Amino acid sequence: MTVVHIRDGVVAYGGRPVLHGVEARVEAGETVAVLGANGSGKSTLVRAALGLVPLQRGEISLFGTPLRRFRDWGRVGYVPQRLGAGSGVPATVREVVSAGRLARRRLGRPGRAADRDAVTAALESVGLAARAGDQVDTLSGGQQQRVLIARALAGGPDLLVLDEPTAGVDAGSQTAFAEVLHIFGAAGGTILLVAHELGPLAPLVDRAIVVHDGRIVHDGDLPEPVGHHAAFHHEHLHPHAPEETKSLW
Amino acid sequence: MNLFAYDFMVRALIGVVLTGLIAPAIGIYLVQRRLSLIGDGLGHVALTGVGAGLLFGRSPVIAAVVAAAIGAVVVELVRERGRTSGDVALAILFYGGISGGVMLVSLSAGSSNRNLMSYLFGSPLTTSTEDLYVIGVLAAAVLAVALFLRPWLFAVCHDEEYARVSGLPVRSLNILMAVTTAVTVTAAMRTVGLLLVSALMVIPVATAQRMSRGFAATMGWAMALGVLTGVTGLWTAWQADSAPGATIVLVAIAAFVLVTAGMVVKGRLAGRERPAPAAETEPIECAIDRAAQRDTVSG
């Protein structure tokens, strides 16, 4: 079954095209990485698939249903790049994760025991059960990222969509993250993730879609890094270094 | 002197307690969205409703609810578009609202500046029984929205994109929130007045968030503080024979200053008793060898 299907997807921001008629599919149970340089359109591709960015042309379907008729949002777990900028009003870790249950709750109905249990289980799966009552702003970046994945997992999704989940996250949290995704994938879950670099997530990926200048230039096995990007210790820590190769990520 | 010896005082007290409950209950969502001043703007717009009500001999409160609700929906639509010109659009709406109000009030026969002042700055002591019924119904509606829909409104205010991907009716919730804000502004008009209503929506929340770690806790404290400062302010105004609306707001600000100072002192004391726990930081991702760098540059 095709979980995500984008046909001839065109997206433009203020008249400037960002995606030029892309074609992409994600099948059930697959882990697909969308790779590309900054500004390549890889995030836009995934955001369009979720309906967060309007399509100028083309069609998107989720779980076989056209996006505009899709209502079964409980099956989709979205993990944004980071928690929105602090709002001033504090929120606990548990309160943020509980928002992940709303796709499965009727508007205005009080939460049931099943909702509370799902939130607790999601917090346990990312190792943050002990921090449930803490203010989310006091957590480290890596821990906040784990809060966001717990929020997505709390809804019991079939598809996880992650937008650069490990950008700026410490190595320990990245490994914990990979472990959570591995368990989710092993249980039959479908994963679509956007990444600048995969790090510890690389072994999980079944297929890679490489976006360059708003076009898909590769769709298949994870390409081998080339040049200095292939070096064991390569970490992209040199923002001011000149471009050395034509490598795409 | 017994505060409850006079009926008008009892009515004033009920009005103030209801305002103290509802203003922070909806205000917390505005603070979370960084729209703290929107209540003030809607107060301006509500004044046009008051003016129209007085001019056409209808209930000023009902007319104010309608005007503020329309204003709130316009504000929400402007916000949703996220245009930079939204700032100017809001300014025009707000100043148009207050000018329209002042002009319509001046046109209506039998009304005076005193009448206008009572809507701008509140006059809880003149609250009638009918006023109380209206405020009571409006307050019940506001509380129902703010309390029963808390998880949904929280989700929309906290992370609107995520709420969209959760399939929540984001736009309807936003408009509901905007209209509820308008209703709150109008309900609070009799007690603190249209120019000060924003203060009761924001200040108790600002005070409460210093004392709590979570959203629900902040909301509970803010509502308790709203009622407490309202009652204390009314009593102070009675004792000092000062303007009640303004006194209530000043008491709320005093509470904010006291709590902030208290938390600072508490933090200092806690810091002295035991060493501060090591801040949880990210492991170092890359270490730049400054000395080596200098050598390279100079060499």
Mean pLDDT of A228-249: 48
Quote the pLDDT of residue B293.
47
Q: Is A45 exposed, middle or buried (0-12, 13-18, 19+ CB in 10 A)?
A: buried
Residue A235 has pLDDT above 70, yes or no: no
Task: For chain B, give the secondary structure using H, E and C.
Answer: CCHHHCHHHHHHHHHHHHHHHHHHHHHHHHHHCCCCCHHHHHHHHHHHHHHHHHHCCCCHHHHHHHHHHHHHHHHHHHHHHCCCCHHHHHHHHHHHHHHHHHHHHHHCCCCCHHHHHHHHHCCHHHCCHHHHHHHHHHHHHHHHHHHHCHHHHHHHHHCHHHHHHCCCCHHHHHHHHHHHHHHHHHHHCCCCCCCCHHHHHHHHHHHHCCCCCCHHHHHHHHHHHHHHHHHHHHHHHHHHCCCHHHHHHHHHHHHHHHHHHHHHHHHHHHHHHCCCCCCCCCCCCCCCCHHHHHHHHHC
Quote the pLDDT of residue A243.
45
Question: How many Cβ pairs within 8 Å bridge chains A and B?
Answer: 113
Listed by start position, the domains of chain B span 3-197
The amino acid at residue A243 is E
Give the phi and the psi of residue B210 in degrees, each rounded to 5. Answer: -75, -20
CB contact under 8 A, B162 and A95: no
Quote the pLDDT of residue A196.
82
- Rg of chain B over all Cα atoms, to the nearest angstrom: 23
Closest CA–CA distance from residue B252 to any residue of chain A (Å) = 18
Quote the pLDDT of residue B19.
94
On chain A, the residues whose CB falls within 8 A of the CB of B165 are 50-52, 73, 76, 78, 161
CB contact under 8 A, B282 and A142: yes
- Give A79's pLDDT tier (boundaries 50, 70, 90): very high
On chain B, the residues whose CB falls within 8 A of the CB of A84 are 158-159
- Give the largest CA-CA distance in chain A: 57
- B-facing residues of A in 213-232 (CB < 8 A) are none
Quote the pLDDT of residue A135.
92
Quote the pLDDT of residue B83.
62
Looking at residue A92, what DSSP letter applies? B
CB contact under 8 A, B166 and A99: yes
On chain B, the residues whose CB falls within 8 A of the CB of A107 are 149, 152, 168-169
% of chain A at pLDDT higher than 90 = 51
Q: For residues A29 and B222, what is the distance between their CA atoms, to the nearest angstrom?
A: 47
Query: Helix B60-81 and helix B129-143: axis angle, to 10°?
Result: 30
Listed by start position, the domains of chain A span 2-230
Strand order in the sheet with A190-195: A76-79, A159-163, A190-195, A31-35, A207-212, A215-220
Does residue A111 belong to the interface with chain B, where contact is any CB pair within 8 Å?
yes
- B-facing residues of A in 22-61 (CB < 8 A) are 50-52
- Give A158's pLDDT tier (boundaries 50, 70, 90): very high
Length of chain A: 249
- Mean pLDDT by runs of 10 across the 299 residues of chain B is 78 93 95 86 91 86 92 86 72 90 84 76 86 91 96 92 93 93 90 88 95 94 96 93 92 96 90 55 46 45
- Chain B interface with A: residues with Cβ < 8 Å: 28, 31-34, 148-149, 151-152, 154-155, 157-159, 161-169, 205, 209, 212-216, 218, 280-283, 285-286
- Give A245's pLDDT tier (boundaries 50, 70, 90): very low
Question: In this structure, is the dihedral angle defined by the CA atoms of residues B260, B264, B265 and B270, taken in order, positive or negative?
Answer: positive
Residue A84, both tokens? 């929105």
Q: Residues A70, A71, A72, CA angle at the centre, nearest 5°?
A: 105
Q: Which of A24-28, A79-83, A161-165, B98-102 has the lowest mean pLDDT?
A: A79-83
> Taking the domain B3-197, which CATH number applies?
1.10.3470.10
Quote the pLDDT of residue B128.
86
Quote the pLDDT of residue A87.
63
> Taking the domain A2-230, which CATH number applies?
3.40.50.300
Quote the pLDDT of residue A1.
86
Q: For residues A201 and A173, what is the distance between their CA atoms, to the nearest angstrom?
A: 12
Question: Which residue is listed with tokens 């129902």?
Answer: B144
Residue A239 has pLDDT above 60, yes or no: no
Kindly report, residue by residue over B203-223, the tens digit of the pLDDT: 999 999 999 999 999 999 999
Give the phi and the psi of residue B34 in degrees, each rounded to 5. Answer: 60, 45
Residue B275, both tokens? 């060493």
Q: Residues B163, B164, B170, CA angle at the centre, nearest 5°?
A: 80
Quote the pLDDT of residue B260.
93
CB contact under 8 A, A91 and B283: no
Quote the pLDDT of residue B296.
46
Identify from A89, A175, A235 which residue to disrupt to test chain B contact, counting B C-beta atoms within 10 A and taking the largest count.
A89
Does residue A182 belong to the interface with chain B, where contact is any CB pair within 8 Å?
no
- Give A237's pLDDT tier (boundaries 50, 70, 90): very low
By Cβ distance, the residue of A76, A89, A98 closest to B165 is A76
Kindly report, residue by residue over A85-128, the tens digit of the pLDDT: 556 789 999 999 999 999 999 888 888 899 999 999 999 999 89
- Which has the closest alpha carbon to A185: A36, A32, A57, A14? A32
CB contact under 8 A, A91 and B155: no
Question: A27 in helix, strand or coil?
Answer: strand
Kindly report, residue by residue over A192-217, the tens digit of the pLDDT: 999 888 888 888 999 999 999 989 88
Residue pair A17/A29 in contact (Cβ under 8 Å)? The answer is no
Kindly report, residue by residue over B168-208, the tens digit of the pLDDT: 999 999 999 999 999 999 988 888 888 888 899 999 999 99
Residue pair A223/A210 in contact (Cβ under 8 Å)? The answer is yes
Residue pair B34/A87 in contact (Cβ under 8 Å)? The answer is yes
On chain A, the residues whose CB falls within 8 A of the CB of B218 are 89-90
Quote the pLDDT of residue B85.
63
